[in-house]
Amino acid sequence: MHTIVLGASGQLGQCLKEVAQRKNVTTIGFPDEREGNILDRAQLERLFEKERPRYVINCAAYTAVDKAEDETDLAAAINRTGAENVAIACRAVGAVLIHISTDFVFEGNRPALLNENDPAEPVSVYGLTKLQGEQAIAGQLPEHFILRTSWLYSEFANNFVKTMLRLGKDREELGVIVDQVGSPTYAIDLAEAILTIISSESTAYGTYHYSNEGAISWYDFAKTIFELAHYSVRVKPLKTSEYPTKARRPAFSVMDKSRIKETLSISVPYWKDSLKACLSVLLPEKN
């Protein structure tokens, strides 16, 4: 296999499978978690030795943001140690690693676009363990692309868009956070970007930001979902203080995509256009 996807059963893994099928790319392997367990370095090394991949895409992660505050050891094992295991196994066979990270590595306390060189100061266990994973990869394997993304959704797995559609069927009113601003990312678009990087065979390794263009609050996102789905739901703006969670979230985490666009020639769709594309799959009867 030219490329191996770890975490293949997750949202992005399923999107990569979908995009690969559309493009008729047949040299990508999607091992299940038993064969591609990132917590078992010896198993990974056996898998990579057998397949000799040129690229490895690591989508495996602990992403339960609030639970991570209590399950710190498990979050660290997957997001930090697991990422390091993948990097070491890649190094052994000369593979390039494409690793998915998050806007949660930033504190997000100022209203300015975040670029790759801004200080990473996470305010949650999830964000900290993802940052530690980035650092572990950089320490083990120069040949890597770290892609930080945000607010991931798609027609697969559980995500904000699907939750809003489910709740919107039965509810007349919903409260949604208005003072956290970021950029949604259609996971199909991110999958397209990853496969573009692979096909380019670029050696401009390093950290890049990728989300859809634009900046909105969760409140604005929910309102747009309901408008495009033709659901009559009143959306009530909530302050973060009115909806306390165990983990802190960045208040403003809109990332600057200039580097990935200019260095890797990646096109970045506008968030609303991508949302329409996703809803056309989730709600074909509305289109």
* Confidence category of residue 287, pLDDT binned at 50, 70, 90: low
Q: d(Cα 131, Cα 227) in Å, to the nearest integer?
A: 36
Q: What would the DSSP string read from start to end of 84-125? A: HHHHHHHHHHTPEEEEEEEGGGS---SSS-B-TTS-----SH
Q: Check residue 186 and give its pLDDT.
A: 98
186 is catalytic: no
Tens of pLDDT, residue by residue over 167-196, are 999 999 999 999 999 999 999 999 999 999
Tens of pLDDT, residue by residue over 127-180, are 999 999 999 999 999 999 999 999 999 999 999 999 999 999 999 999 999 999
Express the helix, strand and coil content of the chain in percent, nearest 5 each. Answer: 45, 15, 40
Catalytic residue, from 55, 126, 208, 210: name it. Answer: 126
Second-level CATH architecture of 3-159+185-213+254-269 = 3-Layer(aba) Sandwich (3.40)
Tens of pLDDT, residue by residue over 5-25, are 999 999 999 999 999 999 999
Gap between the terminal Cα atoms of the chain: 38
Give residue limits of the domains in the chain: 3-159+185-213+254-269
Q: Check residue 286 and give its pLDDT.
A: 72
Q: d(Cα 275, Cα 185) in Å, to the nearest integer?
A: 9
Strand partners, 153: 186
Sequence-separated (6 or more) residues with CB below 8 Å from residue 104: 65, 122, 124, 126, 127, 130, 249, 250, 253
